[in-house]
Amino acid sequence: MKVRVKLFATLRNGRDKDKVYELNEKTKIKDVIEMLNIDRGDVKILLINGQDADFETELNDGDIVAIFPPVGGG
């Protein structure tokens, strides 16, 4: 299945910011994060197709995953 993964802010460092990956059925978001060598502690917000998700959410063909780190500012 094909899943588009979009990374934001510091998670883009050394990685593609927007890429389509060919993944196995039953792949979960935690598997994608591990594949991209992202520390789970660096992830604050997970979205699938614009909806809240968590590390255990199973992906489907055509999904768009957005991964955000904690956001700072003032």
Q: Where are the domains of the chain?
A: 2-68
pLDDT of residue 71: 78
Question: Can you name the CATH fold of 2-68?
Answer: Ubiquitin-like (UB roll) (3.10.20)
Reading the chain (74 residues) residue by residue, the pLDDT tens digits are 999 999 999 999 999 999 999 999 999 999 999 999 999 999 999 999 999 999 999 999 999 999 999 976 55
Are the C-beta atoms of residues 68 and 10 closer than 8 Å to each other? Answer: no
Instruction: Tell me the pTM.
Output: 0.92
pLDDT of residue 61: 98
CB count within 10 Å of CB 44 equals 13
